[in-house]
Amino acid sequence: MSEKKFSKKHEWVSLDGDVATVGITKHATEMLGDVVFVEVPDAGKAVEKEGQAAVVESTKAASDVYSPISGKITEGNKAIADDPGSVNTDPEGASWFFKLKIKDKGEYDSLMSKDEYDKFCKENPS
Amino acid sequence: MEVQKTALYNYHKDLGAKFVPFAGYEMPIQYKDGIVKEHISTRTYAGFFDVSHMGQFFLEGDETLIQSLEKIIPADLKNLKINHSKYSFLLNNEGGIIDDLIITRTKKGFCIILNAACKENDIKQISQFLKKHHKHLLNNDLSLIALQGPKSVEILEKLIPGVANLKFMTGNIFKYEGENLYVTRSGYTGEDGFEISISNTKVEKLIDYLISNEVKPIGLGARDTLRLEAGLCLYGHDLNEKINPVEANLKWAIAKKRKEVGGFNGWEKIKNLLANGSEKIRVGIKPDGKVIARENTKIFSSDNNEIGFVTSGTFGPSVNAPVAMGYVKSEFSEVGTSIQLEVRGKKYGGKISELPFYKKSYVK
């Protein structure tokens, strides 16, 4: 598995061959608060870079989760749909949102590194 | 208008509050623990809420004050005993709800607790009916603290002996730190608890005491999930000027005598609705799965006709499921009726549910 890359919309991506795993960052969960509902995409759905791919809701509000990378969904994580609270406990591990077969590795390469993302969060406090 | 702050603003900041603008005030939406933990600690132990943004409106006068207020408030104020409180409303000429409120009889008159966003207009509306010799004051020198949860009584009794004797929806004057404060047994969470009216100069000391007894600070976020589980309305969402008490399923809050005799704004219309029923009515709603039907979600019948809309919806931490309230055509209001909720363009199943979603018995 490759190193994690990060988007400005607070998603993370890791790459295994041409299959990417996408989730939301710890920073995102801290902004959201308690996650109480998750909707993940079904396998086979095509998503565009920065297109809406999943939904996450906290007690406060509903937010869209965007795919930082284009491709075709291979799996949505049903476990987090059944237990939305797990997104708060392990957002960058077991509580990934979806996997997709990517078209263009360049999209992955252009995302932020961990250090760049941390700096981005500091400079853009919500 | 400049953003207002309550006397506890800096205190909240020190407690790690996240603030949001609410009704012209900077108010804590949550603290470090987050909404779900704050909600649960209120239900299992006790929490305190700074609700000082709400209006504490005091009226003084003779018997004519009752006549004046009864023109706009459909409660039986004449027979309201001193230190007893009632949930009621201000009504407009069409019977629409200008605001919902708690009115308490005091020795000299009444105290009305008004919603923060409505208080200026409320006072204008009430003033139309007042006589010159009626005195009134929106007291901004007072804070209002709600202490809610099963441990509230034990904790407050230690500090202010006698509060344990208060019955639900009654109040009294108590001594604290050399001054008078007014405590009522009431709240907005479905739990036993108190609302404490205390001067801005003494409020920090009261909060110090509550925190030393492990009472958690609770923000507006959990206040909303708590009141929704308890089936209580939020003005501006579940109630507004175009909705009357019959539609709001709050006809119980109109005094029996007043229903018969009338003499208040909108009575003709309300009398007719009481006899014949309203076209739409407020109901509880439980989505079948985990999907949250938030405010403005459209409601459809099982055969796909649009029948209403959601006015409040969230995840209920104690119910451990999504809960909502909304208005549906009256023929679909029976508990158990299957409905559909349109969320993000997709229809999800749900049922009309009893209110409240969460039941607790008050001390009577």
B182: closest CA among B172, B169, B170, B192? B172
Q: What percentage of chain B reaches a pLDDT higher than 70?
A: 99
* Segment B54-101, tens digit of pLDDT: 999 999 999 999 999 999 999 999 999 999 999 999 999 999 999 999
| B23's tokens | 């009704």
Residue A111 lies inside a defined structural domain of this protein: no
A61: confidence class by pLDDT, cuts 50, 70, 90: confident
Q: Over 90: is that where the pLDDT of A111 sits?
A: yes
Question: Which run of H or E residues covers position B154?
Answer: helix B152-159
pLDDT of residue B212: 98
What pLDDT was estimated at residue B363?
A: 62
C-alpha span between A52 and A42 (Å, rounded): 13
Residues of A near B (CB-CB distance < 8 A)? 33-34, 36-37, 39, 55, 57-60, 62, 81, 84
Tell me what the mean pLDDT of segment B131-147 comes to: 97
Task: Residue A33: give the domain boundaries.
Answer: 5-104
pLDDT at B1 over 90: no
Question: Do the Cβ atoms of B314 and A59 come within 8 Å?
Answer: yes
Q: Is B48 helix (H, G, I), strand (E, B) or coil?
A: strand
Mean pLDDT across the stretch B207-232?
A: 98
Which among B147, B196, B164, B199 is positioned nearest to B178, based on CA atoms? B199
Q: Which two tokens mark B336?
A: 């158990």
CA–CA gap between residue B327 and residue B339 (Å, rounded): 12
Predicted local confidence at residue B244, as pLDDT = 98
Q: In this model, does residue B325 exceed pLDDT 90?
A: yes
User: In the prediction, which pLDDT does A126 show?
Assistant: 64
In whole angstroms, give the CA distance from residue A35 to residue A29.
Answer: 8
User: What is the per-residue pLDDT for B97?
Assistant: 98
Residue A41 lies in a domain: yes
| Structure-token pair, residue A72 | 């075709």
Please report, for residues B13, B152, B153, B193, B292, the alpha-carbon distance to residue B214 in angstroms, rounded to integers and kept in the order given. Answer: 18, 11, 14, 16, 32
A41-63 mean pLDDT: 93
User: Percent of chain B, pLDDT > 90?
Assistant: 97
**Does residue A116 lie in a domain region?**
no
Band the pLDDT of B174: cuts 50, 70, 90: very high
Q: Which pLDDT belongs to residue B361?
A: 58
Question: Is the pLDDT confidence value at B143 over 90?
Answer: yes
Residue by residue, DSSP assigns A48-109 as: -TTEEEEEEEESS-EEEEEESS-EEEEEE-HHHHH-TTHHHH-TTTTT--EEEEES-HHHHH
- How does residue A1 score in pLDDT terms, banded at 50, 70 and 90? low
Segment B190-203 shows an average pLDDT of 97
What's the CA gap between B224 and B35, in Å, rounded? 9
CB B81 within 8 A of CB B231: no
Nearest CA in chain B to A80: B290
* Nearest-10 crossing angle of helices B220-229, B35-44: 60
Give the DSSP letter of residue B84. B
What the block records as the tokens of B335 is 């508990």
In a domain, A87, yes or no: yes
Report CB contact under 8 Å: A36, B290: yes
Q: What domains lie within chain B, and their CATH numbers?
A: 1-276 (3.30.1360.120), 279-364 (2.40.30.110)
CATH, residue A15: 2.40.50.100
Domain assignment present for A119: no
> Is B322 within 8 Å of A37 when comparing Cβ atoms?
yes
By C-alpha distance, which of B69, B20, B363 is closest to B223?
B20
Number of CB pairs, chain A paired with chain B, less than 8 A apart: 39
Integer Cα distance of B228 and B216 in angstroms? 20
The predicted pLDDT at position B338 comes to: 98
Residue A69 lies in a domain: yes
Residue B360 reports pLDDT greater than 80: no
Q: Is the peptide bond before A84 cis (omega within 30 degrees of 0)?
A: no
Token pair 């309550």 is found at B6
Mean pLDDT of chain A: 94
Per the CB < 8 Å rule, is B29 touching A55?
Answer: no
Structure tokens at B56: 């504490």
* Number of domains making up chain A: 1
A45–chain B nearest CA distance, Å: 16
What is the DSSP-derived secondary structure letter of residue B156? H
Residues of B in contact with A60 (CB under 8 A): 29, 35, 221
State whether residue B324 sits within 8 Å of chain A by CB: no
As a whole number, mean pLDDT of residues B107-114 equals 97
- Mean pLDDT, residues B32-42 taken together: 94
State the pTM of this model. 0.93
Q: For residues B221 and B3, what is the distance between their CA atoms, to the nearest angstrom? A: 20
Nearest chain A CA: its distance from B243 CA (Å): 26
Cβ of A126: how many Cβ atoms within 10 Å? Answer: 8
With tokens 């075709």, the residue in question is: A72
Contact A59 B315 (CB under 8 A): yes
